[in-house]
Every structure is written in structure tokens, then in C-alpha cells.
A and B are shown apart, each in its own frame.
Chain A
């Protein structure tokens, strides 16, 4: 299973966001979320949303190993 993290506004789309999912790439995760969370999936398709695997920014086609941590990162607003 893949562990999922949604940061910033991406974490507010639903009260029952899945914590884990079975998928082989971040793009597949986005695809799998579309039926139950269409608004979130649309947001994940925005070019400014980044994805990380095990805390490294990667492309959406990055192959995922079982147990990976995938995080979805909206534009940052620190400082």
C-alpha cells in the first residue's frame, strides 16, 4: 500500500480522505481518486501542485514501491 498525505488546502476537500491506496504511480493515484473525490482530483491536476515520494519532489509517472509515502503539495506560503 501507498501512504498518502495531503497538505494545505488539498487536505480540506473531504473529511474521509483515504490514508492509503494501492497504485503504481502518483498519476494513477490521482486517477483512482477521481470517482469519489472529483474536486480534489481536479485540483491535483493543476500544474502548480507538486508531488513528492518519500519526501523528494518527483514527476507524476514516478514508479512507486510498496510502503512509499506520497505527498501532494499545493504552492507553499511560508515565511
Chain B
């Protein structure tokens, strides 16, 4: 199994530091792919004031570990990192990080996309936005479900 790290945290993360940690996992690392998700400044075509992220402590980590285990079975990975922030966030804040280190680029590219697609549709996080002083919960998107579903039928 590869070296995995899962972190749910309120504070920000440092992209360069995360990249460096993946890079230094092994002398056999030949590719590192990272994805960073940011808080958009709009939801349903209206600007947002802030975003609040709730999760289910314990279950979220278990589900993310399950997703990382699946990635390990599908691709040749050396290590993966998943960071998700919770609590109060502002537009343009970093919200999620997925980083994958592998020997060859195809494994890292595909596994990183799989990890974020599955995280978005299977891990127990819920977003609430504040718009004009009013809070409402964000609805799940069909495009996210479709992005995750395409991995369901492929095993390589």
C-alpha cells in the first residue's frame, strides 16, 4: 500500500509544502499531480459572502480512507494526500487539496481526478453559503455525480 495522509482541518494549507512532502516520499517518485479547489465567489449566479463547511467527524475520515484504498487498487501509487478544510471560509480561500505521487504520470493524473471526483460525491461534507445575509445549503450537482459515475464502470 502507498503512503496516505488524510487531514480535515479549519486552517489553511501550503501547496508548496504538500508538494514537497509528496516529492520526497521516495526516490522512485517520477510524477506528482496536485489539485487545489478554491471557494468560488458565486453560487447560483449570485455572489456569496462566505461559505460554511460541515462534516461528520470520524465517518468522513473512514470514507476518505476507503476512497484512497480504492485508488491504491486501481493505480500504482507511491503516496497520496487529501486535505479538506471545514468551518468558515471566504471566497478565493483554498478549500480542498488532492496530491498524488507515482512513478509514472498516467497513474498520478488519473488517481488525482478519481480522488476528487469520489470525494465530492461520497465523503460526508456539506456546504452552506451566505448570500445577502441569508444562509442556505448548497444542492448537490448532477455534473459531480456524472463525473464520479464514470469511474464506477472502469477498473483500470
For chain B, the bracket of interface size reads 20 to 34
How many residues of A are counted as interface, with CB atoms below 8 angstroms from the partner's CB atoms? 16
A interface, over-half SS: loop
Q: Is residue A37 contacting chain B, with contact meaning CB distance below 8 A?
A: no
Kindly state the separation between the CA atoms of A74 and B124 in the bound complex, as whole angstroms: 9
Kindly state the separation between the CA atoms of A75 and B127 in the bound complex, as whole angstroms: 11
Task: Please state if A9 and B96 are interface contacts (CB–CB under 8 Å).
Answer: no
Task: Please state if A77 and B126 are interface contacts (CB–CB under 8 Å).
Answer: yes
Query: Which residues of chain A have C-beta atoms less than 8 A from B56's C-beta?
Result: 5, 7, 52, 55, 71, 73
Taking CB atoms and an 8 Å cut-off, the chain A residues in 51-79 that contact chain B are 52, 55, 71, 73-79
Taking CB atoms and an 8 Å cut-off, the chain A residues in 1-25 that contact chain B are 5, 7-9, 12
Task: Please state if B62 and A78 are interface contacts (CB–CB under 8 Å).
Answer: no
Task: Please state if A76 and B62 are interface contacts (CB–CB under 8 Å).
Answer: no
Task: Please state if A55 and B123 are interface contacts (CB–CB under 8 Å).
Answer: no
Task: Please state if B59 and A78 are interface contacts (CB–CB under 8 Å).
Answer: no
Task: Please state if B120 and A8 are interface contacts (CB–CB under 8 Å).
Answer: no
Kindly state the separation between the CA atoms of A50 and B152 in the bound complex, as whole angstroms: 19
Kindly state the separation between the CA atoms of A55 and B55 in the bound complex, as whole angstroms: 12
Task: Please state if B96 and A79 are interface contacts (CB–CB under 8 Å).
Answer: yes
Taking CB atoms and an 8 Å cut-off, the chain B residues in 108-156 that contact chain A are 116, 119-128, 137-141, 144
* A-contact bits for B38-80, CB 8 A (1 contact / 0 none): 0000000000000001111011001000000000000000000
CB distance from B52 to the nearest CB of A (A): 11
Q: Is residue B23 contacting chain A, with contact meaning CB distance below 8 A?
A: no
Q: In chain B, what residue has the closest Cβ to A8?
A: B126
Kindly state the separation between the CA atoms of A73 and B58 in the bound complex, as whole angstroms: 14
Residues on B facing A (Cβ under 8 Å): 37, 53-56, 58-59, 62, 84, 95-96, 116, 119-128, 137-141, 144
The 5 closest A-B pairs by CB, nearest first: A78-B125, A79-B120, A75-B140, A8-B126, A55-B59
What are 19 pairs between A and B in contact, CB < 8 Å? Answer: A7-B124, A8-B126, A8-B137, A9-B137, A52-B56, A55-B56, A71-B56, A73-B56, A73-B124, A74-B137, A75-B140, A76-B123, A76-B126, A77-B125, A77-B127, A77-B140, A78-B123, A79-B84, A79-B119
